Structures are given as structure tokens and as C-alpha cells.
Amino acid sequence: MNEPEGKTLKDLYNSLDNKKLAWVYMRYFTFFHDFIHDKCHEIISPRCGLEYFTYRSDKFWAKIIYGLNHLKENPYTYEIKLCEAIHYGSRMNIINYWYPILQQKKYIDHIRLEIKYYLYSYDMAIKPDICKLERENDKFSELYNEDAKISRILYNMNKIPITINKEFCSKLLNYINRNNHLKLTEKFYEYLTRPIASCSVETENKQEMINVLHHYI
């Protein structure tokens, strides 16, 4: 299935200059989300399946890949422009690619509010209070804040030399927990930079790291 401009998310991923950085961010943002919301997102490479759990992985890949591509093409960008690029990636992922797949598999009820949000949010025109229904307000605010959070972290991290070392990982950890022990930083670095594994192993490693973080805070 072709996506905008004839490129799939996998094509965009393959064109990244620094895939190791993309994996660090993918692990980081799914870890961040799952730790805060007590959920579980499995991680697999972009566009590697048609199941619902693959969509849940692709939704983060779309934000990260479009964000990294925007930073590469616009090194002096503004944070709001980065947020728009991340938001656009999310929109293209769900509307142009995953909607017909999940509709056929009868999973639309799982993402109905996400579809509604991204249909209404063309050019970032949406505001979280666009709908009077409280349930939709909450979901729209969550989606809006998720894009904004990812853009803020990517934008700020891009200001420093990107060398994936313990200091870099420690700065990422500071967005989650300010009281970091050296041992925690070392374990977080090990988690973010370990070799790519199967989705089940990735999930186990993430849950182990979440347990470690709970122990230290």
C-alpha cells in the first residue's frame, strides 16, 4: 500500500541516517508512555504486520520518523513546526494507511476517537475543546499533549550534540525522573541501546526497566 508521495513509513525509516537514534527514541517514548499510563506497547520495525499491536507500534514510529526527518531537513526549526510535522506523521499513519486495514479487521472501535481527532485536526487546527463531550475532550487532549510532549523532547535533545552515550540517556531520563542514581542511569542506557530483539523480548526488557525505575522512585 502506497502512502503520501509514494513512500511508506518503512521507506522513510530506511532513509534515516541514524537508525540507532530512532530506536533509542522509540524505546524511550513507548517506555515513557507505558510508565505514565500503565499500558504496554510492543515494539517492532515499521510496517512489519497488519495486526492491531503493529498499529500501536507504528503510531509511535510515525511520530518519531516524521520528527527526525523534519529536524534533518529543517535544522533551525521552531518547536511548533516540529510538533506539526509529528502531528502530520500521526495523521498520515492512521488516516492514509491503517484506517482501511483496521476497518477490515473490525478494530475501528478501538481507534474511533483517534480517527475523529486526526480528521478534525488538519493543519493543527484542532483544539482539545473542539467537542463538548467530556470523553472526547479527554481523548483529544491526550493525543494533542502526546504530540506536544514528543516534539518538546526531540526539539530540546536536538540542541545538544547527539552522541548516544550515558550522558545523552541521562538527559532523557530526567524528563521522567529527576532523582537519578548512577546505577539507574547505567541500566537505562543499557536498555535504550541494547541490540534490537523480537517484540516479546523488547516488551520483557521494557517491563524490567519499568520495574527498576519504580524501585528507585
What is the reported pLDDT for 79? Answer: 95
Q: Cell for 4? A: 503520501
pTM above 0.75, yes or no: yes
Non-local CB neighbours of 80 within 8 Å, separated by 6+ positions: none
Tell me how far CA of residue 89 lies from CA of 3, 62, 122, 175, 195, in angstroms: 11, 5, 12, 23, 26
The torsion of the CA quartet 162, 25, 165, 160, rounded to 10 degrees, works out to 30
> What does the DSSP 8-state code read for residue 107?
-
User: In whole angstroms, what is the distance from residue 61 CA to residue 204 CA?
Assistant: 19
Domain boundaries, the chain: 49-160
pLDDT in single tens digits along all 217 residues of the chain: 446 556 789 999 999 999 999 999 999 999 999 999 888 899 999 999 999 999 999 999 999 999 999 999 999 999 999 999 999 999 999 988 999 999 898 888 888 888 888 887 655 545 555 455 556 667 788 888 999 999 999 999 999 999 999 999 999 999 998 877 788 999 999 999 999 999 999 999 999 999 999 888 7
